Amino acid sequence: VLFNNLEFLKTESAIKGGRPVPGALVYSFAEGLLIQSTMQGTGLAFLGCQLDVKGPTFVGDTIHVEFEIADIRQTSKGNRAIVYTRNEVRNQRGETVLIYDPKRMMKGRE
């Protein structure tokens, strides 16, 4: 009911400020933003991540992702690497709403 019952949100929910968006959906949108701009054609495998929701995201919010490479480890094949990043999702007010640290296998130089 939290995400689809507007009457519940108005009368019973402890969350105020708008209609909330599930953290998993925010993560999915963040991944979509990153993949099309940074990993298209180089990403080979998603190997997992830790995810921490830091604050609410509401319908109508605008999000962007800031990321930094934390570590790169070349694989034994030589033309691949395991890449660790730290990704922060921020809303239009600059508030961090989600942090996650994916581990990916990426294509390297031949």
Per-residue pLDDT of 51-105, as tens digits, reads 999 999 999 999 999 999 999 999 988 889 999 999 999 999 999 999 999 999 9
Cross-strand bridge partners of residue 74: 81
Q: Cα 93–20–89 angle (5° rounding)?
A: 40
CA distance 59 to 70: 31
Prediction pTM value: 0.86
Lowest mean pLDDT across 35-39, 41-45, 85-89: 35-39
What is the CB neighbour count within 10 angstroms for residue 46? 13
The reported pLDDT for the residue numbered 110 is 64
CA distance 98 to 51: 7
Residue of 38, 40, 45 whose CA lies nearest to 87: 38
The label of the residue with tokens 């480890």 reads 73
